[in-house]
Amino acid sequence: MKITVVGLGKIGLPLAAQFAGKGHSVTGVDVNPRVVELVNAGTEPFPGEAELDVRLKQAVADGTLTATTEYAEAIPGADYVVVVVPLFVDGDGVPDFGWMDSATRDIAANLTAGTTVIYETTLPVGTSRTRWKPALEQGSGLVEGTDFWVVFSPERVLTGRVFADLRKYPKLIGGLDATGAAKAREFYEAALDFDERPDLPRPNGVWDLGSAEAAELAKLAETTYRDVNIGLANQFARFAAQHGIDVLQVIDASNSQPYSHIHRPGIAVGGHCIPVYPRLYLWNAPDATVVRAAREANAAMPAYAVDLLAEAYGDLSGARVVVLGAAYRGGVKETAFSGVFPTVEALRGRGAEVFVHDPLYDDDELAALGFAAYHLGEPVDAAILQADHADYRQIGPADLPGVRALVDGRAVTDAARWDGVARRVIGVA
Instruction: For residue 293, count CB atoms less than 10 angstroms from its CB and return exposed for 0-12, middle for 13-18, buried for 19 or more.
Output: middle
Q: What is the CA radius of gyration of the chain?
A: 24
**Cα 394 to Cα 413: distance, rounded to the nearest angstrom:** 7
**Cα 172 to Cα 128: distance, rounded to the nearest angstrom:** 15
Question: Considering 10, 133, 273, 333, which one is annotated as catalytic?
Answer: 273
Evaluate whether 213 touches 172 at the Cβ level (below 8 Å): no
How far lies 288's CA from each of 127, 196, 285, 383, in Å? 19, 36, 6, 37
Residues 6+ apart with CB under 8 A from 117: 80, 81, 83, 107, 111, 132, 136, 148, 149, 150, 151
Residues 6+ apart with CB under 8 A from 242: none
Evaluate whether 32 touches 39 at the Cβ level (below 8 Å): no
Whether 171 sits among the annotated catalytic residues: the reply is no
Whether 10 sits among the annotated catalytic residues: the reply is no
**Cα 405 to Cα 48: distance, rounded to the nearest angstrom:** 33
**Element spanning 150, H or E:** strand 149-152
**Cα 381 to Cα 313: distance, rounded to the nearest angstrom:** 9
Evaluate whether 299 touches 345 at the Cβ level (below 8 Å): no
Evaluate whether 110 touches 177 at the Cβ level (below 8 Å): no
How do 320-324 and 116-119 pair as beta strands? unpaired
Residues 6+ apart with CB under 8 A from 415: 423
Question: Considering 10, 133, 183, 219, which one is annotated as catalytic?
Answer: 219
Q: Which are the catalytic amino acids?
A: 219, 273
